[in-house]
Amino acid sequence: MEDFHFPSQIKLLNEDNLRLDGRRLDELRPIKLEVGVLARADGSAYIEQGKSKILAAVYGPRELHPRHLAQPDEALLQCIYRMATFSVEERKSPAPSRRETELSKVITEALAPAVFLKYYPRASIDVYIQVIQADGGTRCSSITAASLALADAGIPLRDLVSAVAAGKIDGKIALDLSDLEDKNGQADLPVAIMPRKGLTTLLQMDGMMTREEFIEAYELAVKGCQKIYEMQREILIQKYIDIQSEASEEADEQENGG
Ligand code: CDP
């Protein structure tokens, strides 16, 4: 029989259950969010989650081409997930991969329930997602950023969508796995929710978990999503505070300057 060689397993937790980047099991990676980062898009957002860096740009609602794809009673939401050639360790071919096609579909389906698509029959709402640097969990970070970009575009939403994965590393349930943890862990469970509505819009699993572990991981991911939701809300509120203060500064200048 052929002798299989398994790569030596990396120890992902120390004796205090701290992870290689110093995080506790229930800790998110540091997250930075920005909205309105692209001048030519109708709405845009940027996310950094640990070492992952992703841009999302929304165009629309606009006329749909080719027209035969138009839906008579609602808009067509189309998300396109792409990774830059330099975003991963081993250069990614610029040709769209099967993984990118699958993730585009998964991300579209995670966002669609939050969008009032019926408001725009026959139209198209396009969301372009560009992964600039990937370090695990990019489908979830993409959903978080795309939902902010849709809000930034002024598209009516039932709720924001917040996403993060939980998983299993060295036999323990952990939140927001990095690429190294994903590759060397035992399971990964990406989750997206509409937090105010209490709806789950994405649930996938890769690897093996017991039923109890699955429930623990799902609950941990939902808690993580709720924390991300607070950050998303804050950044949107901040945007409107900034617009308001810019507008009142302009009004003051006009009044004083004549
Ligand atoms: O990114 P996400 O966890 O949603 O999806 P995945 O298919 O589980 O990929 C996990 C990670 O593998 C990505 O975030 C990248 O860091 C890495 N990857 C890579 O190194 N090269 C690729 N061609 C695709 C993914």
Kindly report the pTM of this predicted structure: 0.94
Return the number of other C-beta atoms located less than 10 Å from residue 196's C-beta: 11
The CATH number for 246's domain is: 3.30.230.70
Would you say residue 17 lies in a domain?
no
**HSE value, Cβ hemisphere, 13 Å, CA-based, for 114:** 30
110: region left, alpha or beta (phi > 0 left; psi from -120 to 50 alpha): alpha
Would you say residue 53 lies in a domain?
yes
> CA distances (Å), 124 to each of 49, 86, 256, in order?
29, 30, 44
Instruction: Tell me if 37 sits within 8 A of 57, measured CB to CB.
Output: no
Q: Which residues, including other chains, have CB under 8 Å from residue 252's CB and lie 6 or more apart?
A: none
- The structure tokens listed for 221 are 């991911």
Would you say residue 24 lies in a domain?
no
Would you say residue 232 lies in a domain?
yes
Would you say residue 93 lies in a domain?
yes
pLDDT of residue 1: 41
Return d(Cα 188, Cα 206) in angstroms, integer.
5
Which residue's CA is minimally distant from atom 21 of ligand 1?
88
Return d(Cα 115, Cα 120) in angstroms, integer.
10
Would you say residue 18 lies in a domain?
no
Three-state DSSP at 57 gives strand
- How much distance in Å is there from the Cα of 74 to the middle of ligand 1? 33
Per-residue pLDDT of the chain (258 residues; tens, 9 = 90+): 444 444 557 899 999 999 999 999 999 999 999 999 999 999 999 999 999 999 999 999 999 999 999 999 999 999 999 999 999 999 999 999 999 999 999 999 999 999 999 999 999 999 999 999 999 999 999 999 999 999 999 999 999 999 999 999 999 999 999 999 999 999 999 999 999 999 999 999 999 999 999 999 999 999 999 999 999 999 999 988 887 778 888 888 887 775
Report strand pairing: 123-133 vs 52-63: antiparallel
Phi, psi of 200, deg, nearest 5: -100, 125
- The structure tokens listed for 8 are 């030596």
Residues in contact with ligand 1 by the CB-under-6-Å rule are 88-89, 92, 99, 134-139, 179, 182
| Residue ranges making up the domain that contains 86 | 31-257
pLDDT of residue 2: 44
pLDDT of residue 245: 78
Return d(Cα 73, Cα 80) in angstroms, integer.
22
Place of tokens 């975003």: 87
What DSSP string runs through 151-185? HHTT--BSS--EEEEEEEETTEEEES--HHHHHHS
Report the nearest atom of ligand 1 relative to the CA of 92.
23
Report the nearest atom of ligand 1 relative to the CA of 141.
4
Count structural domains, the chain.
Answer: 1
Q: Which residues, including other chains, have CB under 8 Å from residue 175's CB and lie 6 or more apart?
A: 25, 26, 27, 28, 164, 166, 220, 221, 223, 224
- How much distance in Å is there from the Cα of 27 to the middle of ligand 1? 20
Please choose from 138, 143, 178, 189 the residue to mutate so as to test ligand 1's pocket, defined by most ligand atoms within 8 A of CB: 138
Return d(Cα 144, Cα 22) in angstroms, integer.
24
- How much distance in Å is there from the Cα of 151 to the middle of ligand 1? 26
Report strand pairing: 199-203 vs 187-194: antiparallel
Would you say residue 128 lies in a domain?
yes
- How much distance in Å is there from the Cα of 242 to the middle of ligand 1? 35
Which residue's CA is minimally distant from atom 19 of ligand 1?
88
Which residue's CA is minimally distant from atom 16 of ligand 1?
135
Nearest to 45 by CA among 118, 121, 147: 147
Which residue's CA is minimally distant from atom 7 of ligand 1?
99
- How much distance in Å is there from the Cα of 137 to the middle of ligand 1? 7
Would you say residue 72 lies in a domain?
yes
